[in-house]
């Protein structure tokens, strides 16, 4: 179905042009030839042999099967593929759309597809098949939302849901041939499940069409009432639209704004909703048409807005700026409603071409954009813009919900389960009933005595699957969590809550357990406990791991806040350093160490940490973190007394420090500083990630960051000359431990070759 038959531009909804041409139904070969033409016209380079092979396979496999209206079944596959092309999907998706019903409806299976088209296409088809098998029944609102989430969760690759939407769109277009019962149930499902998903993914065009087609079967009378009125008013409306369009075009041409102006009748379901929500008869709804002005730049958008407001009277309260505040689904435009000389209100939407693509194709604009225009270099800032927008959109809650949903369908590192009441709860993959209990409330976790999954009693280490219904049994007499739970819990938040319990409830026991673990760890390395705990070194060693007394450290090890291995590692490094340096100290070092000791003492008395940093012998000093190496707690740090701007904090491995530490003009300016014991601030630092420029790696990085809840301030990527890309990520962390976790996660991504701290 080409753009001219899409029902929103200029014309009100017309019946879909899917009526068979002749008695034998539609000719698939003719349709396929049109599909090839459409792909070529789209300008995106695709392997046409591969696409043809998919068509041949589908045609042979569906041989002898027919659509309700009499056409060979494969016409549906081709029509769905055409819609997928319109949506801007990539080659694998088009191939998979042609094959999408093969596993479900023919003798061929996953392996057959994989053999000829590779695992990526086979995975897509299998994903669509799984969605097709989900039984939809009419349910309550809450269940409905779960259903949407479940479908998203099941489509591990976002393209699966896009293919499913293409499939559904074609089925809705040809729904007139189905029984009344099927029309209703499919329309309801489309309205409740697929249209909202299309909306969430920013597929405006698909959403409108799905809504209008569903409405047609869900409320035929209401639908007809609107289309009848639109048809009757069409001549007047058309005249009105032509006039306004002409006025706007002429005026913008006068002031030399390069633009395209479009107009359309609003889609039927939006008029329908307005009638019912405001209890208006259709004749009471005036703003039936909307104009769209598409320009080249953002300043032009605001420029045009001013001109429109000058030409027509704006309706107060109707101006919305989605450019400065994009909608959660990435939609950007400015909207205003104005009244022309006829007294008829109409809406004007102003946006750039870039925003237009995103508005029409949503997430799919990514592929279309990236592959469609070879002149857009992949290193270009713009081609990463949508990922940045996604990351930025995490800031508000509605958006993070959106991003969350987007994330789960691309990544399988989460699992969706249900409470007995039907609340969907998302947990990391591999989560157990312990994670589930703590995700409800720490009180539930701490008093948990048993769990059932789908009605059957399970052990606490039982791994939950998508769709499980989980019930937790609690008891007031519960002894509380056991230490094993720390290993069984998959989510950081559950572990944190368990640790919290141990920390609070079991201080003495923790100290004893921790001491035991600590000493065993030392002995297991053939070292002597006494070497670590003697008075001459212990304070320095404890300071190294930010504890003020050894019982606190034991307690932390005991409740799991720190591992014995880590404590011993870091203390041992410090021990070695002390022994080495005690032999050959420069005079300066000695002075520094004395100062450091002084600092420790003076802090006890009067010193107050500033931003978590203690400066030798100085109170309330102005602190700033150097931008070259962005230190965070856990880094070895040094301070530099600047000229009148306080003390600037560097990492000891910062090239600037290494270069200038011995410089005569800086003599005396480098002073010892240390991190405070308790740090409540967060710190900003920058990571540099090098990865192969192949598609998808950057998205994986972005998604991984979101999956671990990294607080990203900025993400910039660019190509380097050697076929690699370099991405700089500025983010906020609590300390080195958190940063190392993030580094580890990023290093694990396929295609990432290095993750480093930025130092210049």
Q: Enumerate the active-site residues.
A: 104-105
- As a whole number of angstroms, the distance between CA 732 and CA 712 comes to 6
With CB under 5 A as the contact rule, which of the stretches 32-40, 159-167, 515-523, 670-678 interacts with Mn ion? Answer: 159-167
Other CB atoms within 10 A of residue 504 CB: 10
Q: Which is nearer to Mn ion, 86 or 167 (CB)?
A: 167
- As a whole number of angstroms, the distance between CA 492 and CA 710 comes to 13
Q: Which is nearer to Mn ion, 101 or 735 (CB)?
A: 101
Environment class of residue 130 by beta-carbon count within 10 Å: exposed (0-12), middle (13-18) or buried (19+)? middle
- As a whole number of angstroms, the distance between CA 201 and CA 158 comes to 9
Environment class of residue 690 by beta-carbon count within 10 Å: exposed (0-12), middle (13-18) or buried (19+)? middle
Which string of x and - marks every residue 110-149 that binds Mn ion (by CB under 5 A)?
----------------------------------------
Q: How far is the CB of 103 from Mn ion (least distance, A)?
A: 11
Q: Which of 481, 419, 471, 474 is nearest to 448 (CA)?
A: 474
3-state SS string over 640-677?
EECCCCCEEEEECCCHHHHHHCCCHHHCCCEEEEEECC
Q: How far is the CB of 38 from Mn ion (least distance, A)?
A: 19
Distances from the Cα of 593 to the Cα of 578, 618, 650, 653, 686, angstroms = 11, 15, 18, 18, 30
Out of 167, 414, 521, 635, name the contact with Mn ion by CB under 5 A: 167
Q: How far is the CB of 167 from Mn ion (least distance, A)?
A: 4
Does 635 bind Mn ion (CB under 5 A)? Our answer is no
Q: How far is the CB of 62 from Mn ion (least distance, A)?
A: 10
With CB under 5 A as the contact rule, which of the stretches 11-19, 164-172, 303-311, 396-404 interacts with Mn ion? Answer: 164-172
CB 17 within 8 A of CB 5: yes
Does 101 bind Mn ion (CB under 5 A)? Our answer is yes
Other CB atoms within 10 A of residue 421 CB: 8
- As a whole number of angstroms, the distance between CA 521 and CA 523 comes to 6
End-to-end alpha-carbon separation of the chain, Å?
54
Subset of 246-265 contacting Mn ion (CB under 5 A): none
**DSSP output for 546-562:** T-SSHHHHHHHHHHTSS
Q: How far is the CB of 745 from Mn ion (least distance, A)?
A: 38
Task: Check residue 647 and give left, alpha or beta (phi > 0: left; psi -120 to 50: alpha).
Answer: beta
Q: Which of 663, 660, 625, 655 is nearest to 760 (CA)?
A: 655
Other CB atoms within 10 A of residue 311 CB: 16
- As a whole number of angstroms, the distance between CA 350 and CA 303 comes to 10
Q: How far is the CB of 112 from Mn ion (least distance, A)?
A: 18
With CB under 5 A as the contact rule, which of the stretches 101-109, 183-191, 294-302, 539-547 interacts with Mn ion? Answer: 101-109
Q: How far is the CB of 183 from Mn ion (least distance, A)?
A: 16
With CB under 5 A as the contact rule, which of the stretches 96-104, 391-399, 641-649, 687-695 interacts with Mn ion? Answer: 96-104
Q: How far is the CB of 56 from Mn ion (least distance, A)?
A: 18
With CB under 5 A as the contact rule, which of the stretches 161-169, 293-301, 317-325, 642-650 interacts with Mn ion? Answer: 161-169
The crossing angle, in degrees rounded to 10, of helices 564-583 and 507-524 is: 60
Binding residues for Mn ion, total number by CB under 5 A: 2
- Give the H or E element holding residue 697: helix 697-707
Interacting residues of 189 by C-beta distance below 8 A, sequence separation 6+: 136
Q: Which is nearer to Mn ion, 206 or 470 (CB)?
A: 206
Q: How far is the CB of 164 from Mn ion (least distance, A)?
A: 9
Distances from the Cα of 106 to the Cα of 96, 205, 365, angstroms = 15, 31, 32
Does 700 bind Mn ion (CB under 5 A)? Our answer is no
- Give the binding site for Mn ion (CB under 5 A): 101, 167
């Amino acid at each position: 179905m080409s753009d001219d038959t899409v029902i929103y531009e200029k014309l009100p909804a017309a019946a879909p042009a899917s009526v068979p041409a002749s008695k034998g139904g539609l000719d698939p070969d003719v349709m396929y030839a049109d599909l090839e033409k459409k792909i070529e016209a789209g300008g995106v380079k695709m392997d046409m042999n591969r696409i043809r092979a998919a068509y041949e396979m589908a045609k042979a496999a569906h041989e002898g099967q027919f659509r309700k209206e009499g056409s060979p079944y494969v016409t549906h596959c081709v029509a769905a593929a055409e819609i997928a092309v319109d949506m801007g999907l990539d080659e694998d998706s088009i191939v998979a759309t042609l094959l999408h019903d093969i596993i479900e409806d023919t003798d061929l299976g996953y392996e057959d597809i994989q053999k000829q088209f590779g695992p990526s296409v086979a995975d897509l088809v299998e994903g669509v098949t799984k969605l097709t098998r989900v039984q939809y029944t009419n349910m309550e609102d809450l269940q409905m939302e779960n259903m949407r989430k479940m479908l998203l969760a099941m489509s591990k690759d976002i393209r699966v849901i896009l293919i499913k939407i293409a499939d559904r769109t074609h089925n809705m277009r040809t729904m007139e041939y189905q029984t009344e019962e099927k029309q209703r149930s499919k329309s309801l499902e489309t309205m409740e499940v697929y249209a909202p998903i299309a909306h969430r993914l920013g597929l405006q065009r698909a959403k409108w069409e799905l809504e209008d087609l569903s409405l047609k079967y869900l409320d035929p009378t209401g639908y007809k009432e609107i289309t009848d009125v639109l048809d009757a008013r069409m001549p007047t409306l058309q005249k009105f639209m032509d006039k306004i369009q002409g006025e706007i075009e002429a005026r913008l041409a006068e002031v030399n704004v390069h633009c395209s102006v479009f107009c359309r009748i609003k889609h039927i379901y939006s008029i329908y909703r307005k009638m019912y929500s405001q209890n208006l008869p259709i004749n009471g709804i005036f703003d039936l048409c909307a104009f769209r002005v598409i320009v080249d730049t953002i300043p032009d958008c605001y420029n045009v807005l001013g001109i429109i407001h000058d030409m027509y009277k704006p309706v107060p309260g109707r101006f919305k700026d989605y450019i400065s505040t994009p909608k959660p689904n990435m939609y950007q435009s400015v909207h205003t409603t104005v009244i022309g000389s006829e007294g008829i209100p109409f809406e004007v939407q102003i946006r750039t071409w870039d925003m237009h693509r995103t508005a029409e194709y949503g997430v799919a604009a990514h592929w279309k954009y990236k592959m469609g225009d070879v002149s857009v270099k992949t290193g270009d800032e713009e081609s990463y813009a949508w990922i940045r927008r996604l990351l930025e959109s995490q800031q508000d809650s509605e958006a993070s919900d959106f991003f969350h949903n987007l994330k789960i369908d691309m990544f399988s590192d989460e699992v969706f389960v249900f409470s007995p009441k039907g609340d969907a709860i998302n947990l990391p993959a591999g989560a157990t009933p312990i994670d589930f209990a703590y995700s409800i409330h720490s009180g539930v976790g701490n008093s948990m005595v048993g769990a059932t999954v789908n009605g059957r009693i399970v052990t606490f280490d039982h791994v939950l699957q998508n769709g499980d219904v989980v019930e937790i049994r609690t008891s007031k007499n519960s002894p509380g969590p056991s230490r094993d739970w720390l290993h069984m819990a998959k989510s950081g938040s559950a572990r944190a809550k368990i640790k919290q319990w141990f920390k609070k409830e079991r201080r003495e026991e923790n100290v004893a357990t921790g001491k035991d673990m600590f000493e065993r760890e030392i002995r297991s390395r053939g070292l002597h406990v006494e070497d670590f705990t003697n008075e001459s070194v212990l304070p320095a060693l404890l300071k190294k791991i930010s504890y003020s007394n050894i019982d606190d450290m034991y307690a932390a090890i005991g409740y799991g806040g720190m591992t014995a291995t880590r404590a011993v590692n870091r203390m041992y490094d410090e021990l070695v350093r002390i022994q080495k340096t005690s032999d050959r100290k420069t005079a300066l070092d000695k002075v520094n160490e004395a100062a450091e000791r002084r600092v420790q003492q003076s802090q006890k008395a009067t010193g107050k940490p500033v931003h978590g940093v203690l400066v030798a012998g100085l109170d309330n000093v102005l602190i700033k973190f150097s931008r070259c190496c962005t230190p965070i707690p856990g880094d070895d740090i040094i301070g530099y007394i600047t000229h009148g701007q306080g003390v600037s904090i560097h990492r000891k491995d910062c090239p600037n420090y290494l270069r200038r530490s011995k410089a005569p003009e800086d003599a005396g300016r480098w002073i010892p500083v240390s991190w405070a014991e308790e740090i409540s601030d967060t710190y900003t630092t920058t990571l540099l990630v090098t990865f192969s420029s192949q598609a998808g790696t950057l998205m994986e990085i972005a998604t991984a960051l979101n999956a671990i809840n990294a607080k990203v301030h900025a993400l910039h990527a660019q190509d380097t000359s050697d076929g690699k890309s370099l991405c700089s990520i500025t983010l906020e962390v609590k300390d080195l431990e958190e940063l190392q976790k993030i580094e580890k996660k990023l290093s694990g991504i396929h295609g990432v070759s290095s993750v480093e701290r930025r130092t210049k």
